[in-house]
Structure 1
Amino acid sequence: MKKIILSAALAIGGFGLFAQGNSEAEIRSMDTPWTNQVDEQPHGEYPRPQMSRENWVNLNGQWDYAIKPKGESVPSSFDGKILVPFAVESKLSGVGKNVGEDNELWYRRSFNVEPEQRKERLLMHFGAVDWEAEVFVNGQSAGTHRGGYDPFYFDITDLLNETSNQEVVVRVWDPSDDGPQPRGKQVKKPNSIWYTPVTGIWQTVWLEQVPNSYIAEIKNTPEFDQNSIKVSTRVEGAKEGFQVAVRLLDEGQEVASRTISANEAEVTLEVSNPKHWSPENPFLYDIEVRLRRGNEEVDRVDSYSALRKISMEADTDGIQRMMLNNEFVFQYGPLDQGWWPDGLYTAPNEKAMLFDIIKTQEMGFNMIRKHVKVEPARWYYHCDKMGMLVWQDMPNGDHGNKWEPRPGITGVGTEKERTSESEEIFRTEWKAIMDANYNFPSIVVWVPFNEAWGQFKTMEITEWTQAYDPTRLVNSASGGNFIMEGTKITGDMIDLHNYPDAAMPEASIFGKDQILVLGEFGGLGLPVEGHTWQDKDNWGYQSFENKEELMERYRKLIDALLPLIRDGLSAAVYTQTTDVEIEVNGLMTYDREIIKLDEHLLKELHQKLYEISIEP
């Protein structure tokens, strides 16, 4: 496909400042190796690999946009073009303007619907829109969605006009840090560890053609100890006599199958000679789900799953350990924030998104902690295929409570007293995030809170999370307030944040009931001239002048981890994968041009962490 030509104002050099637009805040930019490889229809890959169909149309590309005061009706005129799915503040959007809580961002584009598509239903999908989005089709509202990190769709069949040409308009409002909603690291005035706002569509928009009766949802649950996979389905518009047929495949060969009534909830597929999923052998079973009426195939979706188990079990000293497939595997990975200097929340293309995971694996990490951001489904799909374990954070919001970090344990502080609206927003989006990402076997840990950022009703939220998905472990508040009532601790882990040195929670106090985790440490900084977000005042938790000094200090951190693993530590998270804006404590520069530490040396160092044997 043709490459887009960015407007002259946005394409000069590798660094720059955008027009200030509707805010006084400056918006910076920085090129990556993929900036100039962005196609006219970016991210053209099928966006939902866990539930794929053939009949779909990608709506990414050039849309009209307008920034208008909040509360106005659909604009009669627009300001220019924006490249979807890049946030309006980003360079790759072609706009580079702030929006703010007093304004709304509007999108508009046309699309065609052919006569044969009218015989079935047409769904319009949005991978993610930050934060509140109302969708209009041919002037009629299809619906409103609130949530910046979960996918949603509307059935637009009944809103189509009689011609082939249709119009979609999207209204977006995002108050950034002026609102209580989950927002991760976004603030209207970036500083320190807080970054540029992300407003609007930032994941793929697409149309999906489905039958009048169709498979609306599937849920795949590995039952490792039973050598089986449970598949639940939900059929929209099921009629009498409809059946659901499910097949489990090993590289095209059927290993199990079952057929049930479309009104039944689930099937259990038992696997002979099971193949397990792990970082060393990330084997995935394919799943075919067909909706049938007699011999007629009404609908079909393709999915996949894996036999893997994450659990906790005490070792011979009575210390709780994190187990993968009933064996102790030390989990070590970087804090990964998923930010891009040209696309902000959105990687320039699939190659760029995959690059971070590949480099993480080549460096010898077996885990990634996805920090206060949720990625597109294809990111987790690649982790599934590559065998990368994932800890998934809930994006934070509504700050204001107290955090008191103490030596040897995590913080002991206060909880946020949220409004009922704020609580409802959190609960709704957390559930939606868990639902959307439930099928990815790479995700082994849910993290509802980080460092007391908006932390509230910790026990209630943690216990709900554990009950809602008992197949994963729950790290209730990474580095946050764990002790909420006397000495009672909630969740499966107690998680210490300690910079820069390696440390662990006190095993004699906490290890009998909780898995011991070093949720963040390191943060070693190295600014690389010509590859920083700004020329000066960049920072790391501890800064160095060259790669040799950095490597020597990093080596000492790894050496310090070894005895901690023997004493009870089950996992550690190093800060961080890449530099992000003014933070220069990444293993790579923000533009991904420079890898600061040799991957082969890192892999050799990290291998020692996995060789320590712990017996349950």
Structure 2
Amino acid sequence: MRLSIGIISLFWATTVLASSNSRFFKRVNNTGYELKKGPLDTPWTEEVGTDPWPEYPRPQRQRSDWKNLNGVWQYRNASDGEIASPPFGQDLGQSVLVPFCLESALSGIMAKWAIWSWYRTTFEVPSDWNSDNRVLLTFGAVDYEATIFVNQKNVTFHRGGYFEFTVDVTDYLSVNGTNELVVHVYDPTDKDLIQIPIGKQTLEPSHIFYTPCSGIWQTVWLESAPISHVTQLDISADMEGNVNVTVHASGNQTSGPVDITIYEPGSDEIISVFSGESNSPFQFKVDSPKLWSPDSPTLYNLTVELDGGKDVIHSYTGFRTISRGEVDGVQRPLLNGEFVFQFGTLDQGYWPDGLHTPPNKEAMVYDIQTLKKIGYNMLRKHIKIENSLFYRACDELGLLLIQDMPSLRPSVPASTAPCSENLRTKNEEVQKEFERQLDLFIEQHKSYPSIITWVIYNEGWGQEKKRELPELRLTDHIRSLDPTRLINAASGWDDHGAGDFHDNHHYANPQCGTPFYSTPSTPYDPKRIGIQGEFGGIGHNLTAENLWKVEKAINEINGTYEIDATLEHWNYRAHILLSELRDQIEKFACSAAIWTQTTDVEGEVNGMLSYDRRILRPDLDQWKADIQALYDAASARGGRNYTMVQVQTGF
């Protein structure tokens, strides 16, 4: 099947591709799956069924010939050392729904301490795929280490719980058409004080640290592609119409011809066709482009053809420039050359039914639409990475993203390290692995227009300061990988002057670019942009119906920074805090702020939404007025006259 997507929204095209090519594999035991009753569900939990996430999962590099492998697989808990004897041809005894974390209710397992695990399924390759092509197997994300076997052959190993990986399985496929896929997963989380990038995950959840996510938690799929095919597409487009592209390609050729067709937004009309060579950067220019911004998130569809059309992929881009500059004597973040105050939420990306994985696309988009509805123009994706369709939704709905690198556990005790006090990293090997995954993080996400800032460290978690100050060199390193965005080297706490931002964390009141501060934050540095990286965090307790029904979590609710007795009091306190923030924009150097948070999570009750997404706390009229006042205050300080826009619909 070949699909032209110039005339439709690319986000909708993912659904079209899925429904037009939904040849799901023959399952090895699609009976026995049962949705577990977890501590809390959402309005979408019962809608998931057994063919979850049918959309094409990688919107910036879409191919027509693909096959979704999500659904009911077999599962068995394992123990250390079992990888030496994989369970080929064996019934594993339990049914698991891929792609949901093993600890989640939607997985059908709700595992505890899923350190070692086995998955198994079978699949068939569609008979109408080009027999001269290669068959590629891709995992959106597996937490944490995955060893992949196809027809009893070890075909690849991957480490890193948040990243996509692909393996060419053509040479391992069975001649009789039925293929066995077995996956071994090792996910220690924080067992035995190991240090790996895990964000908020812990084997012993407590208040601000949550239930872990082990195993396959993003879509698994097959694709047909020629021997020489596009493996990565790097694309950035600026406000002047300059487009920088690198088309990475497989095969033995060092380079090959590439043709890129750009379409008029919302149309199949071709603007122009540009040519270059694969595996080398090239540039071209689009005249007078319509710019991307939160109030006008214009996207341009494009087609990439490699080697005269042997490999064809569909993608998109948005024209915008992210920079910093001095506006009326203050360092500011600039979007398309103008200061726009950035106001967003701390977004943890957790779901009570799927944990790291939303129950479906509709649920995921609902969160983003809700933030736009309230008046936010930004979110900080907090020490977690989402699936690719999340970033596509932010691109299309117009939400600026401050994207964190998932952090290491905060520290390790001195007894496990050669030092007299706690260390941020256990040893140099931990730091080296963190940096390897930091590179994956940038490389796999640097083409999304909505991402405007990278965050390296959060509140000193895993931020070494005994052996060296790594953020000083990592800031330069990230700029070499991606010079198009700003960098927040240390969000809160241990700031040593690196990056574009001076970031203050303070609950509940803001201290944004102000001449006052509280430790462990540091005095405002006027040479950089002032941002309130976290504030607010005020809570409002709920009835048991909408709470995470785990006794420990409920008992720790009073650990919330502030508890307000009623929703009326909660909204009143929010008004006071937002008024303080407005004053700091008017009087001082505040350029951006992040309210804690989008939703409640487990024992936290300080979200715009309850954890189950059934309760919306804000008084919308009040919040819209207060947020517009922030934008107006920034406008009076030399910023763009930014007005909130109505949330887009139709997804």
1:369 is matched with 380
2:607 is matched with 586
Write out aligned runs for 1:319-334 (5 A): 319-334=330-345
Decide whether the 8 Å contact of 1:92 with 1:343 is kept in 2.
Answer: yes
2:271 is matched with 255
Paired residue type of 1:426? F
Which residue of the other structure, out of 427, 433, 450, is the alignment partner of 1:419? Answer: 427
Instruction: State the alpha-carbon separation in 2 of the partners of residues 593 and 116 from structure 1.
Output: 45
Which residue of the other structure, out of 229, 232, 254, is the alignment partner of 2:246? Answer: 232
Q: Is 2:77 the counterpart of 1:56?
A: no
Write out aligned runs for 1:118-197 (5 A): 118-178=131-191, 179-197=194-212
Change (3 A) 1:399 1:364: same
Instruction: State the alpha-carbon separation in 1 of the partners of residues 153 and 580 from structure 2.
Output: 61
Change (3 A) 1:135 1:346: same
Decide whether the 8 Å contact of 2:195 with 2:425 is kept in 1.
Answer: no
Write out aligned runs for 1:273-288 (5 A): 273-288=288-303
CA offsets per residue over residues 37-87 of structure 1, 9 Å max, x none? 003110001100011111110000000001111111213441310000001
Write out aligned runs for 1:567-578 (5 A): 567-578=588-599
Measure how far apart 1:9 and its partner are.
Answer: 8.1
Structure 2 residue matching 1:592: 3-state secondary structure:
coil
Structure 2 residue matching 1:308: 3-state secondary structure:
coil
1:246 is matched with 260
Paired residue type of 2:166? Y
Measure how far apart 1:213 and its partner are.
Answer: 1.8
CA offsets per residue over residues 419-452 of structure 1, 9 Å max, x none? 2321122111111111111110000010011000
Q: Is 2:40 the counterpart of 1:30?
A: yes
Decide whether the 8 Å contact of 1:285 with 1:305 is kept in 2.
Answer: yes
Instruction: State the alpha-carbon separation in 1 of the partners of residues 539 and 289 from structure 2.
Output: 45
Measure how far apart 1:228 and its partner are.
Answer: 1.3
Decide whether the 8 Å contact of 1:519 with 1:572 is kept in 2.
Answer: yes
Which residue of the other structure, out of 97, 111, 119, is the alignment partner of 1:107? Answer: 119
Structure 2 residue matching 1:69: 3-state secondary structure:
coil
Change (3 A) 1:394 1:207: same
Measure how far apart 1:507 and its partner are.
Answer: 5.5
Decide whether the 8 Å contact of 1:86 with 1:201 is kept in 2.
Answer: yes
2:507 is matched with 499
Comparing 390-399 and 360-369, the one that deviates more: 390-399
2:312 is matched with 300
1:20 is matched with none
Measure how far apart 1:338 and its partner are.
Answer: 0.4
Decide whether the 8 Å contact of 2:66 with 2:221 is kept in 1.
Answer: yes
Structure 2 residue matching 1:52: 3-state secondary structure:
coil
Paired residue type of 1:286? N
Decide whether the 8 Å contact of 1:499 with 1:523 is kept in 2.
Answer: yes
Which residue of the other structure, out of 517, 521, 546, is the alignment partner of 1:531? Answer: 546
Comparing 230-239 and 188-197, the one that deviates more: 230-239
Q: Is 2:618 the counterpart of 1:607?
A: no
Structure 1 residue matching 2:297: 3-state secondary structure:
coil
Measure how far apart 1:476 and its partner are.
Answer: 0.6
**What is the alpha-carbon root mean square deviation over aligned residues?**
2.2
Paired residue type of 2:62? S
Instruction: State the alpha-carbon separation in 2 of the partners of residues 279 and 471 from structure 1.
Output: 18
Instruction: State the alpha-carbon separation in 1 of the partners of residues 252 and 33 from structure 2.
Output: 50
Measure how far apart 1:262 and its partner are.
Answer: 4.1
Comparing 215-224 and 363-372, the one that deviates more: 215-224
CA offsets per residue over residues 100-140 of structure 1, 9 Å max, x none? 44xx1110000002444443101100011000001000000
Measure how far apart 1:239 and its partner are.
Answer: 5.1
Measure how far apart 1:93 and its partner are.
Answer: 0.3
TM-score for both structures, normalised by structure 1: 0.90
Gaps of 5+ in 1: 17-28, 403-412, 484-488
2:94 is matched with 80
Decide whether the 8 Å contact of 2:514 with 2:584 is kept in 1.
Answer: no
Decide whether the 8 Å contact of 1:511 with 1:568 is kept in 2.
Answer: no
TM-score for both structures, normalised by structure 2: 0.85
Comparing 254-263 and 370-379, the one that deviates more: 254-263
CA offsets per residue over residues 381-417 of structure 1, 9 Å max, x none? 0000011000000111142179xxxxxxxxxx99724
Which residue of the other structure, out of 532, 544, 550, is the alignment partner of 2:570? Answer: 550
Measure how far apart 1:462 and its partner are.
Answer: 2.4
Instruction: State the alpha-carbon separation in 2 of the partners of residues 308 and 301 from structure 1.
Output: 23
Measure how far apart 1:266 and its partner are.
Answer: 3.1
Which residue of the other structure, out of 282, 285, 290, is the alignment partner of 1:267? Answer: 282
Structure 1 residue matching 2:292: 3-state secondary structure:
coil
Instruction: State the alpha-carbon separation in 2 of the partners of residues 52 and 194 from structure 1.
Output: 36
Which residue of the other structure, out of 198, 202, 206, is the alignment partner of 2:221? Answer: 206
Instruction: State the alpha-carbon separation in 1 of the partners of residues 199 and 277 from structure 2.
Output: 43
Paired residue type of 2:483? P
Q: Is 2:92 the counterpart of 1:92?
A: no
Q: Is 2:20 the counterpart of 1:10?
A: no
Decide whether the 8 Å contact of 2:71 with 2:99 is kept in 1.
Answer: yes
